[in-house]
Structure 1
Amino acid sequence: MGPSAAASATTLTYIAIWYGLNVAFNLQNKVIFNYFPYPWFVSSVHVVVGTIYCAVFYLIGLKKASFERPITTEELGAISGPAAMHAIGHVAANLSFAAVAISLTHTVKTLEPAFNVALSQLILGQSTPAPVILSLIPVMVGVAAASAADLSFNWTGFISAMVSNLTFGFRAVWSKKAMTTIKNLSSTGIYAYTTLISVFICVPGIFFFERGVWSAIRTQVALKGAGQFYGALLSVGLLYHLYNQFAFNTLSRISPVSHGVCNVVKRVVIIATSVLFFGNKLTLQTKVGTGIALLGTYAYTEAVKRYKATPTPKLA
């Protein structure tokens, strides 16, 4: 096998692991929410487990798989903005997962590129070519159609997914603006610090929004046993961290557009597996709307590939 073939095989392996971990995370996460609907607490578990994972690897000398190196105050400031948006977006996504079917949340999240386009214009002064903007119309139409007919629809789930889109849009744009200042720190290290910062944002929310979680924990431990209950939380936290890590690693090996296409395919796989696993009933309109939204997202990635965005001149 030649070097290029070996590199391609490695990349495909990364993508397959990313997909597998992502599907396992989504299914396990929803199973937990079905009997333990506390998204702030579960979100905090995800990032706490990820931080412990990184700390252990760092302490045993596997620094390249964790924090890599200490960062400066300036670098911490550069990471903190995107990390805050990552944390808030993660909690918002889990609020949606807890409230509606996985398939609906992922359908609504196909709108994320629309937020990226708007925020790139507002924050970076980066104009988006008309064909790229037009490619987002079927995404919006598809999401509207699917949401209107989805049997699990409620406003909490829909609005939470939209908040996740907005904050992840800020994360993407601020990352482009800020991460250029960080040298000699790979995507693995940046994500490790993002996870650490997220702990300090997610955990306090438990005490403001989910004060009843402690009695709920005692109830679940009594019903399931400590091993099963805490084991499920530990496993879903590991799945969350590892699937994101492989997503970051995959992005470092392929172009952002190719990564976007992979994300479209990933959503198809997650929606399909969640419908089969949970036996969710989808109306014909929901199926058609979801299909249109996914095709629109693919059209968007293709349009981005053909028409590069151009910076808008700033007035003095």
Structure 2
Amino acid sequence: MHRRALGFVLAPVGGRSLRSGVVHPSHHLTRATCCSEIGRRRCRRMRTPRPTDRTRCRPLRMAASDPTASSAAGTPEPTAKAVAQRTVLALAVACWYAANIAFNIVNKMLMKFFPLFITITAVQMLSGAAISLFLWTTRLHRFQRATAADLRKIYPLALAHLFGNLFTNYSLRQMAVSFTHVVKASEPFFSVVLAKMFLPGAAFTWPIYASLVPIVVGVVMASITEVSFNWPGFLTAVASNVSFQSRNVLSKKFMKGVSFDDVNLFGWISCLAAATAAPLALLCDGARYAAVWGAAAAGGGAARLLLMLFSCGVLHYLYNQFSYIVLQRVSPVSHSIGNTVKRVAVIASSVLFFRNPVSSQNMVGTAVALAGVAVYSRVKSQRGGNSNAPSKG
């Protein structure tokens, strides 16, 4: 009976089953092997503990206590590429600030005994073009060819860049470096006013208008007690705001539409601006070159004049190039905030270097104006500011 029951379980061996009642010697080995295998399986089932609630929760507890698992399940850690991008951005901002501070100091010193601001601007444009051509011809940077259609798009940027620097240089010649940058910090106010005047349907939220109040109040407070204040210098500083604002917006839109990188874009802007500035300088300042150069040579400052012109041109290229590098990697609002912090550094360094007399009211007005610019940038980034105005990119 026991043999018959086992015969139903075991598979047929050698063509005959155990139900036939005939068992060959080989079948005894098969039967023993199968029985031992069944026994081992039953033992493993008996030894293996059934998962309880405590054992089911154990992997979850381990994952919660493991920092590696929690970081993988939560926010991922920054990759090496992201860290490298942040490092490049930080270095670009630092170089932008350092080059701009040095440029403003050297430029102001140059204006004292070489007052031809149009020629100085042309030298700055020519320096940018020369450095760009050097990078292209030596293959230190990849050259990107511009078509005629590309040049037509770039030329408005070049004009805005040229006139923005012309107005800035004239303002620096007329007023102190610190006060020129206080006035230039009022760029958001004139941006909103011009948008309301010339852009149909432009609308701004009330926090944007409220943030303009400390900007205006701060500039007025600083202007009242400014020793070097004069209207030509003040108005040209305002005009430079308009030019540079249009350049930043147009360049951001242009960089989205084409594949030029920051070095090539600024190189083409410099070449077109230099081609426009050089004839303008010869036309306006050419008759005074001999007299100004003779006065510099008579005082033994010819070599110093050449060195300062060269340094001014190189620093101008560097700070503008780093500004474009930063602008391509951040939003226009972030670039505006960075520009505000840069003005604080320029104002402080110029006051310390030139020892300009600064009253307490002037310092308070400067602080209020710069704080208003920071609030304006913050509010605009959070609320969108102008819903109908063209996007800055």
Whole-Å Cα distance in 2 between the matches of residues 182 and 130 of structure 1?
A: 33
Change (3 A) 1:230 1:118: same
- In structure 1, the partner of 2:343 is 267
Counterpart check, 1:99 vs 2:167: no
- Of 121-130 and 269-278, the range deviating more from structure 2: 121-130
1:28 to 106, 126, 133: 106
Are the structure 2 counterparts of residues 239 and 185 from structure 1 closer, same or farther at C-alpha, using a change threshold of 3 Å? same
Measured after TM superposition, the shift of residue 169 of structure 1 is 2.8
The residue that corresponds to 2:190 in the other structure is 115
2:326 counterpart residue number: 250
Q: Which residue of 1 aligns with 2:281?
A: 206
User: 1:114: how far off?
Assistant: 2.3
Which whole-Å CA distance do the structure 2 matches of 1:175 and 1:7 have between them? 21
The 8 Å contact of residues 161 and 273 in structure 2, kept in 1 or not, is answered as: yes
Residues 231-287 of structure 1: per-residue CA shift (max 9 Å, x gap): 110111000001111111122222322222111110000000000000000122211
Q: Deviations over 1:184-224 (max 9, x none)?
A: 11122211111111113322332343332332023213323
Contact 1:146 1:289 in 2 (8 A): yes
Aligned to 1:9: 87
Query: How big is the shift at 1:98?
Result: 0.8
Contact 1:100–1:153 under 8 Å retained in 2: yes
Residues 31, 165 of structure 1: CA spacing in aligned structure 2 closer, same or farther, 3 A cutoff? Answer: same
TM-score (norm 1): 0.90
Asked whether the equivalents of residues 293 and 302 of structure 2 are also in contact (C-alpha less than 8 Å), the reply is no
Matched, 1:127 2:203: yes
Aligned to 1:153: 229
Amino acid at match of 1:311: N
**Identity, % of aligned positions:** 33
Whole-Å separation in 1 of the counterparts to 2:318 and 2:201: 34
TM-score, normalisation: structure 2: 0.74
- The 8 Å contact of residues 158 and 269 in structure 2, kept in 1 or not, is answered as yes
**Contact 2:195–2:389 (CA<8 Å) still a contact in 1?**
no
Write out aligned runs for 1:188-203 (5 A): 188-203=263-278
Is the Cα contact below 8 Å between 1:119 and 1:169 reproduced in 2? no
**How much has 1:103 moved relative to structure 2?**
0.5
Cα drift, residue 180 of structure 1 = 5.9
Deviation at 1:131, TM superposition (A): 1.4
1:127: how far off?
Answer: 3.3
Distance in 2 separating the partners of 1:46 and 1:147 = 29
Deviation at 1:133, TM superposition (A): 2.7
- 1:122-172 deviation line (CA, Å, top 9, x unaligned): 348653333123211211111122112101111121111111112223323
Aligned to 2:380: 304
Larger Rg: 2
In structure 2, relative to structure 1, the CA distance for the partners of 1:226 and 1:205 (3 Å cut) is: same
> How far off is 1:50 after superposition?
1.0
Task: Compare relative contact order (CA 8 Å, sep 6+) and give the higher one, 1 or 2.
Answer: 1
Work out the CA distance in 2 between the residues paired with 1:289 and 1:205.
Answer: 37
Q: Match for 2:387: what amino acid?
A: T
Alignment pair present for 1:40 and 2:126: no
Q: Distance in 2 between matches of 1:7 and 1:172?
A: 22
Contact 2:168 2:240 in 1 (8 A): yes
Matches of 1:38 and 1:90 in 2, distance apart? Answer: 13
Q: 1:74 to 1:138 in 2, by over 3 A?
A: same
